[in-house]
Amino acid sequence: MQRLFFLAIIIFYLPAFAQNTPQLFHVTTAATAPGETVLIRGEGIDLISKIEVGRLTDDRVDNSPPAYVPLPEPDHLPDSKGSRMIAGERMMPVDKIQQNEKSVKVIIPDALQQGVYCVRMTDNKGAVSGFYVNVPVVNWVISEDGYNAAAAGDVLRIQGKNLFRKGGSGQVVLVSNGKMFKVKVDSIYDDYSVKVTLPATIQQGKYQLFYHNGLGGKTAWSTPLTVNIVNKAMWSTQAFNVKTYGAKGNGSQDDTEAFKKALTAAHDGGIVNVPAGNYILSEGLVIPNGVMVKGQKGTVINFGPVAAATLISGADHFGLTDLTIRASRALGIIMNSGDGHVILERLIVQQDIGNALAELDSKWNKTGIQLKGHDIRVRDCVFKTAGMFSFVGVSGFIQRCRFEKAGGSVKTYMKIHPQGLIFEDCYKQTNGYGYGATINESYDLYEARNVTPFNYINDREVMTLDGGSGGYFGKVGGASGNRISLRKDGSTFQWAANKWIGGGLFIIDGKGSGQFRRIVQHTMDQIELDEPFLVQPDTSSVISITTIRDHLFFVNNTATDAGAFQFYGSAQNCVIAGLKMQRSAGIIGKGSYVNYGRQPNWYIDIVDCELSDGTYTPQVNQKDRFRGDQQINIIGSGHSGLNIGSLVRRNVLSGKSYIRVSPGGEVNDVQDAIIERNKVSGAKNGLAVYGVGRVVNNLFIHDNQFGTMDIQKALKAEGYQVR
């Protein structure tokens, strides 16, 4: 531990709220190399007269207090506590590409080496502002002791962007009340997730966590994230044994009563041990809070036909480990009804639905494995079941598991509503994968290195945000502080006071477009937001109230013989990176009018993916309207501004796979998309841009390889530029 005597807080520029000055909502945060493009998005961007770019020196930061330059965010006001921005070694003027009131693009000069870059902007009044490119961004952390929380000595997983840089050495600093703890990175999973071990001596309290990726010097730390250091969660170690209460485990005696007695005895918390054996149960088990049911090698629990809604249930704070569970005709397998804290480790769960398929399909949403709440840990399990795999409103870990669909149902699927979830190194084979919820926000997902071998059922989706909905669409009546009034002529759907608490209010057109905020409470015509907008909407502004899906990262996954991997409807600041896909529908980023909601798809990164063997052919005898060639497809339809700032970069497409931009019929459906440094081979046309007139606005096509296609000749739509 070191004592922190001075934390640099030298204000270089305060957020300028005055009119006629540039205001930034978003800049590119994806890893950006020399020769690649940075999008700058906001209001009054046409007032910028000069932009310069330079590389920061990689000074050592081991003995320096953390300092940072805040990045603009579309859902928050600017951070006013940042440090003075430092110019690069040699600041070089760059072209202002497609400059307009809302946006401009710049290319990092090829003459610069890979690193962290300073982007310095001067407006027409001589005022200077700017930001850094390739600085680390920490969105969230998680440990065994909670989301954005940890205990002394915990392993802490850190998720964000630009966490790993070749030649750099990542480190973390935690600061509280003048004390500073420095920690080196233990393991690097990829650019989006790393692991550190916290000091055993760190004390409880609130800390500011800073991250440095080793490049950029003393002011290139991440914007701090508040992390709670808490007491280590402890389970009672008092032991109970089912054989003490009469269980035989001989494969013939009904051991239900013995299990129930052991669980009752452990009702104040403890471990119920189940020695190796073959146990026959004829009723469902209810696990009390604080109880862990622990088997060992050779422990098998056989459930006969059970009338209970689920075989194993509990409210919260319970666990199952080292068990083989076999079930016949059961609908629910393992479910909880409380606020989480459920542990499933080293389980083998096998289900034979027999002739009960019709019954299962009639109750499909109440079947299978269904967990909800915080601190869910599912590890090293094998599930071969007929019902749902449902994880709703969950934070925690799902790791090294095998999910396999059994029983022939076409209605059950995997449902995931993340709120701080690591889902990695799993095998997933089921009837579809729906992410998100209708109203409540989905946020902070890191899903990595999972394998989907095929999906031949329904729409065959490998990942979809499952539609969502909408509450209000129309112009603003007025805005004051964090309160917005709605006009009576707006469109509503099942609109009721406070129904959309936890949803989002998006400015999709007019003044302030490209920003969103979260709804705290609302009446029929008045909305209270979590923060004011940086640029307040006015009567020209069009808003949409719909769900938020923020910081959902899908990294280095694999999918074969399946449908789309898609941000379908509302998605913000999300990533698909390193996806390997074969004979599937491809990757889609779709902002559109879905289920009565205008749902924005904003600031999405689709990077470093490989799409091969690109003909998407449904299984024989399966009805499928998505027959065609594999593609990366950027879609905006339903109103202006439903797809803003999509980045399609460094993807490799072969075997008829291609890139497509698909606006609807409204003006400016797709805005400020960047298609850059992609390699397409084997397709007749490597890029297709659809739409007539100004439906595509400021599309930038840069430094791609499209085989023999003459891109300038092939594209006839307006609103784009090719370099």
Amino acid 705: pLDDT: 94
Same domain, 396 and 270: yes
Amino acid 552: pLDDT: 98
Same domain, 711 and 619: yes
Amino acid 19: pLDDT: 61
Amino acid 625: pLDDT: 56
Same domain, 273 and 384: yes
Q: Does the structure show a pLDDT above 70 at 281?
A: yes
Amino acid 608: pLDDT: 98
Average of pLDDT values for 553-571? 95
Q: Would you say the pTM of this structure is higher than 0.85?
A: yes
Average pLDDT, the chain: 92
Residues 6+ apart with CB under 8 A from 366: 309, 331, 332
Amino acid 8: pLDDT: 31
With CA atoms as reference, report the closest residue to 77 among 15, 127, 22: 15
Q: Is residue 130 part of a domain?
A: no
Q: Is residue 245 part of a domain?
A: no
- Structural domain ending residue among the three candidates 492, 526, 546: 546
Q: Does the structure show a pLDDT above 80 at 708?
A: no
- Write down how long the chain is: 723
Structure tokens at 180: 């500073």
What pLDDT, in 10s, does the model give residues 157-193? Answer: 999 999 998 877 899 999 999 899 999 999 999 999 9
For residues 285 and 312, is the Cβ–Cβ distance under 8 A? Answer: yes
With CA atoms as reference, report the closest residue to 566 among 592, 546, 586: 586
Same domain, 151 and 297: no
393: containing domain: 257-431
H-type alpha helices, 134-278: 256-265
Q: Is residue 53 part of a domain?
A: no
Q: Where does the pLDDT of residue 13 fall: very low under 50, low under 70, confident under 90, or very high at 90 and above?
A: very low
Same domain, 262 and 321: yes
In this structure, the dihedral spanned by the alpha carbons of residues 553, 556, 559 and 560, taken in order and rounded to 10 degrees, is 160
Q: Is residue 25 part of a domain?
A: no
Could you count the other beta carbons within 10 Å of the beta carbon of residue 35? 15
Q: Where does the pLDDT of residue 716 fall: very low under 50, low under 70, confident under 90, or very high at 90 and above?
A: low
Average of pLDDT values for 480-495? 96
635, amino acid identity: I
Domain with residue 198: its CATH number is 2.70.50.70
What pLDDT, in 10s, does the model give residues 305-350? Answer: 887 889 999 999 999 999 999 988 788 999 999 999 999 999 999 9
For residues 403 and 431, is the Cβ–Cβ distance under 8 A? Answer: no
Name the least confident of 246-255, 532-541, 599-608, 711-720.
Answer: 711-720
Same domain, 463 and 504: no
Same domain, 463 and 608: yes
How far is 561 from 399, CA to CA, in rounded Å?
24
Q: Is residue 366 part of a domain?
A: yes
Q: Does the structure show a pLDDT above 70 at 712?
A: no
Amino acid 127: pLDDT: 94
What pLDDT, in 10s, does the model give residues 491-513? Answer: 999 999 999 999 999 999 999 99
Number of compact structural domains in the chain:
4
Amino acid 11: pLDDT: 32
Q: Does the structure show a pLDDT above 80 at 719?
A: no
What pLDDT, in 10s, does the model give residues 447-465? Answer: 999 999 998 887 789 999 9
Average of pLDDT values for 550-557? 98
Average of pLDDT values for 686-706? 87
Q: Is residue 91 part of a domain?
A: no
Name the least confident of 585-589, 703-707, 718-722.
Answer: 718-722
Domain with residue 519: its CATH number is 2.40.10
Q: Is residue 528 part of a domain?
A: yes
Q: Is residue 111 part of a domain?
A: no
Q: Does the structure show a pLDDT above 70 at 375?
A: yes
Q: Where does the pLDDT of residue 7 fall: very low under 50, low under 70, confident under 90, or very high at 90 and above?
A: very low
